[in-house]
């Protein structure tokens, strides 16, 4: 990885902390585990609990530690302040014992609301003004999202239910087929179902942002065509730079941009390069390609990776369970890995410094790290 010059580092750090920074697929938990969480992970692994179940249990412990343990709270909140992220989109209902169900969604929203109610540093974002207010007040905004429309249980009335509970971004499919369409790792891709078209229309009507990051090619193309509003790839990368099922081809990226949409680039190691070790420079290469392809006004950052799980036994178990979510060995998902230069969420400013080092102007950097998504969010959601 390149070493930043002192001038670029100082300029990038100053620009980062004065800007609105939005991670369009992040996590409400940017730092590692307390000692109590580690001990609980050891115990639950011994008892044979699923990796997803353990993660759910550890998140509950994290929230309680944030309330009851001042030292952990200082460590956790300190990591978020180091990141300089104003708001991030946080997925609920996926990493659960029964992922993608209605019940898992309700549990995930309930857990996150517990964080909002008890840790005043964190605030729920339902409108663009909430992000602006979070920046002004020194708070951390959280946009709630679904990574799979299965949470709606093929009932369009549930779109309104979850809108009322704060969901503002919904991915139509995850990797596999659902009743809306086909995911990007599915064997075939038939495009949107009739219900899928109805769901797109419903989301347009209520003001939910459509996310196509894990959708298959035809499913995404149909959604782009049928949506009255701009749509998004909140966390993806360039297939032309790395031919991986999770990437998006140039014509798809152009179609989203031509509709006024948004493309957030991931920092997931296996998605950026075929090499065993990804670096921040690989991430910046994808940013460069996208800005050249569709223009700087449609590109952003959706990291989708907060660093390796700081518990190898749990990480190994999660790697095995990822196949239940449609990932296969060739996709190289590994919860033990990090991208060099982004080993911890507190290193988020390195992204801004990297953009400065690549020659982007201050205005262009600010668009990429937050303003582009803020504009789209205000346009679609309000």
How far is the C-alpha of 79 from the C-alpha of 347, rounded, in Å?
Answer: 9
Share of the chain above pLDDT 70, in %: 98
Task: Give whichever of 50-64, 295-309, 367-381 has the largest mean pLDDT.
Answer: 367-381
Contacts of 248 (CB under 8 A, 6+ apart): 220, 233, 236, 237, 238, 239, 263
Tokens representing 2? 């390149």
Q: Is residue 100 part of a domain?
A: yes
CATH number at 81 reads: 3.20.20.140
pLDDT at residue 368 tops 70? yes
Helix (H, G, I), strand (E, B) or coil at 209: strand
Q: Is residue 347 part of a domain?
A: yes
Instruction: Specify the DSSP class assigned to residue 326.
Output: T
Widest Cα–Cα separation across the chain: 55
Percentages (nearest 5) of helix, strand, coil residues in the chain: 50, 15, 35
pLDDT at residue 192 tops 90? yes
Helix (H, G, I), strand (E, B) or coil at 176: coil
Count the Cβ atoms, other than its own, within 10 Å of residue 330: 9
How far is the C-alpha of 4 from the C-alpha of 12, rounded, in Å?
Answer: 10
Tokens representing 25? 């697929």
Contact 85, 132 (CB under 8 A): no
- The whole-number pLDDT of residue 30 equals 47
Q: Is residue 314 part of a domain?
A: yes
How far is the C-alpha of 74 from the C-alpha of 65, rounded, in Å?
Answer: 11
Count the Cβ atoms, other than its own, within 10 Å of residue 18: 12
Q: Is residue 58 part of a domain?
A: yes
Q: Is residue 1 part of a domain?
A: no
Q: What is the pLDDT of residues 227-254, one digit of tens each?
A: 999 999 999 999 999 999 999 999 999 9
Q: Is residue 139 part of a domain?
A: yes
pLDDT at residue 28 tops 70? no
Count the Cβ atoms, other than its own, within 10 Å of residue 113: 15
Q: Is residue 106 part of a domain?
A: yes
In total, how many domains does the chain have? Answer: 1
Q: What is the pLDDT of residues 53-89, one digit of tens each?
A: 998 899 889 888 888 899 988 888 888 999 999 999 9
Helix (H, G, I), strand (E, B) or coil at 22: strand
Give the domain range for residue 200.
6-380
Contact 372, 299 (CB under 8 A): yes
pLDDT at residue 308 tops 90? no
Q: Is residue 183 part of a domain?
A: yes
From 246, 93, 112, 97, select the one nearest 170 (Cα to Cα).
93
Tokens representing 250? 């140039």
């Amino acid at each position: 990885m390149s070493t930043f010059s002192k001038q670029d580092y100082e300029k990038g750090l100053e620009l980062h902390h004065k800007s609105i920074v939005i991670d369009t697929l992040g996590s409400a938990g940017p730092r590692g585990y307390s000692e109590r969480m580690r001990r609980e992970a050891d115990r639950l692994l011994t008892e044979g609990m699923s990796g997803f179940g353990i993660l759910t249990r550890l998140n509950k412990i994290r929230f309680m530690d944030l309330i009851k343990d001042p030292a952990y709270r200082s460590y956790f909140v300190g990591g978020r302040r180091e990141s300089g992220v104003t708001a991030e989109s946080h997925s609920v209902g996926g990493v659960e014992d029964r992922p993608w169900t209605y019940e898992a969604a309700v549990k995930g929203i309930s857990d996150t609301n517990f964080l909002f109610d008890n840790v005043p540093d964190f605030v729920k974002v339902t409108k663009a003004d909430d992000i602006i207010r979070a920046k002004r007040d020194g708070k951390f905004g959280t946009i709630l999202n679904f990574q799979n429309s299965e949470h709606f249980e093929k009932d369009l009335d549930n779109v309104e239910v979850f809108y009322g509970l704060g969901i503002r971004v919904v991915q139509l499919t995850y990797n596999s087929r659902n009743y809306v369409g086909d995911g990007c790792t599915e064997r075939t891709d038939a495009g949107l179902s009739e219900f899928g078209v109805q769901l797109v229309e419903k989301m347009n009507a209520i003001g939910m942002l459509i996310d196509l990051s894990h959708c298959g090619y035809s499913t995404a193309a149909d959604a782009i065509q049928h949506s009255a509003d701009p749509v998004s790839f909140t966390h993806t990368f360039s297939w032309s730079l790395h031919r991986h099922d999770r990437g998006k081809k140039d014509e798809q990226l152009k179609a989203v941009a031509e509709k006024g949409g948004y493309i957030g680039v991931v920092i997931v190691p296996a998605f950026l390069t075929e090499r065993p070790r990804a670096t921040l420079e690989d991430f910046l290469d994808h940013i460069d390609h996208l800005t050249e392809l569709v223009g700087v006004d449609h590109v952003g950052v959706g990291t989708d990776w907060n660093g390796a799980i700081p518990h190898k036994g749990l990480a190994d178990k999660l790697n095995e369970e990822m196949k239940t979510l449609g990932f296969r060995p060739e996709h190289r998902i590994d919860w033990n890995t990090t991208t060099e230069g982004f080993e911890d969420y507190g290193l988020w400013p390195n992204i801004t410094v990297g953009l400065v080092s690549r020659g982007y102007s201050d205005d262009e950097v600010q668009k990429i790290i937050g303003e582009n998504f803020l504009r789209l969010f205000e346009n679609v959601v309000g």
